[in-house]
Structure formats: structure tokens, C-alpha cells
Amino acid sequence: MTAEKKKLLLAVTPGTYGPILEPSVEEEMAALCSLVRAPEDIGKMTPERYARLLAESGAEIVVTSWGSPKLTLAALRAAPSLKYMIHLAGTVKAYVEKEAIEAGLIVTNWGGAIARTVAEAALMMILCALRRVTAYQMELHVRKGWRSPHDNEVRSLFERSVGIHGLGTISKELIRLLKPFGVRIEAYSPHAPDSDFEELGIIRQRSLRDLYAGNDVISVHASKTSENHHIVNTEILAAMKDGAVIVNTARGAVIDTEALVAELKKGRIQAAMDVFEKEPLPPDHPLRGMENCLLLPHCGGPTPDRQVDMGRQGLRNLKRYIAGEPLDAVITPAKYDLIT
């Protein structure tokens, strides 16, 4: 007796097919489920029209990604077959109401599948800030010069101390990339259990100020929560060591940007920022032109060539779901607000 195939709705925008959802991944999903693609205008659907589509499809599983409509509690109530939402991206706030999860909808996201590319960006930004890469690009490409007055301040990462602000999947991947550099690592996280620190072989720092004051390199991986808004303020930045480096690949609002600009103006610390309080960064923003601050346009991860990992993670979870095995990266109501 063969069990009937579960119904799966691909509620993703046309741009998702290929870069995120490879043809081979979609084929595997179609072999496992009775698969239907949503209409091409899915990205423009109101929550109400999306709710009708979900109900009429009779789907048990829905796959979503960047640009998908928001799944409301009302939609879940109107679609009694719907049990599982495979979100291929990170933040789920824009794609599902917390109440739907509380009402029993299972939701998973990309988990650690793309974390490594953000960690890679963080490592690159740390190395660039220590070695003054932005200032050298200005010196060699723009001013047509060679040596700079800061040549003697170029630093290596080897044997330095690294402070990690926040301890989620990206931090864990970063710690893996940092290992060959023989660095001393401590992390601050009010949420992570002691066992996480023990398994990673790093030091638990219980004071945020001491984390910033005591390390040569700071990498920000804090969640976008109201308690973290501007948690890196004037006082925290002033506590940083001379010549220290701060890198942000998390969310812009974790740092008080005005305080950062003021601290950078002193020329005492180096920074590298991939995220900003306002994106795109305004053309006249004071960070522009500050040579002790590397700037990137929120492209830490996933890089386009590794967006396939998002689809592959979705497929792995689909297989687990069908086999009745535990899922990876389940978004509980408690986690809903924490993921950046």
C-alpha cells in the first residue's frame, strides 16, 4: 500500500527558480510530493488572495522565500490541510504571523545553511579593518600614492583576542573560521546556554562593556530586538581599546550610528559595516569618506552563488518532514522575534 503523496505549494516568486531553487531540487521535491507552482504574480498577492490560494490548493506544505506574501492566522484557519511552512530565507516576520505559529503551524527557515557565508564576510571584514584595506584603496586608486602614515598600524589577526556579540548560527560558523588564527575568543549572549560556550571552547563574558573593552576585535551578531536597539552606544564604543576593530554583519540598529561616527572621527578605532540603520545608506551619510570604515551594501550573505544552499536546506527539511524525523531550524514563537 503506497501512501498518497502530500500536497506542496511553491509560493515563491519567479526569481526564486534557479538561483535559490535549482531545477534538480524542484524535481526532487516533485518526486516526493504532489507539487504545484503558485501563479507568477504571487509576489503581488494580498494576504487575502494568498489565503484563498492556500485553501484551494489543499496543500499540507507551503514553500516560501523573499517576496512571498504574508501567511496570516486567518489564512491558516481557512486552510485546514496546511501544517508546514518551509521558509527558504531567514527572517520570517514579514512572511508569517506569530499567531499562526502559536496556533500550530510548523515553520522552519534557512537555519545554518547560509550562516557560513555571513561568517565569511565577517572574517574578511575583520582582516580588512586590521590591515586598513579601505584607506589603502583610497591611497593607491584615488590619490595615486603608495605608503601611508598608517603603515605601522597594519595588524595581523594571529594571536589576537576576539569578542563576539551574540551567539547564534553565524557566530558559530565564524568561530570555526577563526580557529586557524590562534585567537582567544570570548562571547556575550544573554540567551545562549553555558553548554554552547563549552562545546565551542570559548569564554563566556557576562558584561557587554567588558566584551568591548577587553578585545582587539569585536564582531557584532546580535539580534534585531527592541532591547538590542542602540545597545552599542557611546559608552560601549569609548570602552574599546586603541586600534581595536568593530565589524557589523548583523543589523544596523544594534549600533548607535551617530556614536560610531563620533568615535571613528577620533581615528582611534577601525570599523567595517555591511548593515546600516537606514538602507540604502543615504548619499550624504557621514560614514561615507571615513577611511577607517569599510563599507559594503548589505551583501554579507548569502552570496548569489550560494543561494542554492537555501533551496537545498528546504529539500533536506522536506525529506525529514515526510520521513517523520526531527526538523532543522524550527522557528518557535520564542525564536520568532530573535532571528535577524
What are the residues binding a copy of itself (CB under 8 A)? Answer: 116-117, 120-121, 123-124, 127-128, 130-131, 133-134, 136-142, 144-148, 151-158, 176-177, 179-181, 279-281, 283-284, 288-289, 291, 294-297, 299, 301-306
Closest-CA residue to 184 (of 214, 210, 154, 148)? 214
CA atoms within a 13 Å half-sphere pointing along the CA-CB vector of 333: 9
Give the nearest distance from C-beta 28 to a copy of itself in angstroms: 19
CA atoms within a 13 Å half-sphere pointing along the CA-CB vector of 324: 0
Nearer residue to a copy of itself within complex by CB, 75 or 294: 294
Nearer residue to a copy of itself within complex by CB, 74 or 177: 177
Nearer residue to a copy of itself within complex by CB, 33 or 89: 89
Give the nearest distance from C-beta 286 to a copy of itself in angstroms: 12
Q: With the CA atoms of 322, 326, 327 and 331 taken in that order, what torsion angle do they form, in degrees rounded to the nearest 10?
A: 130
- Coil, strand, or helix at residue 318? helix
d(CA 182, CA 162): 10
Give the nearest distance from C-beta 184 to a copy of itself in angstroms: 15
d(CA 168, CA 65): 21
Give the nearest distance from C-beta 189 to a copy of itself in angstroms: 22
Task: Give the residue numbers annotated as catalytic, written as ranges.
Answer: 251, 279, 298
Nearer residue to a copy of itself within complex by CB, 14 or 58: 14
* Grid cell of 179 as nine digits: 580557529
Residue 273: enclosing H or E segment and its boundaries?
Answer: strand 270-273
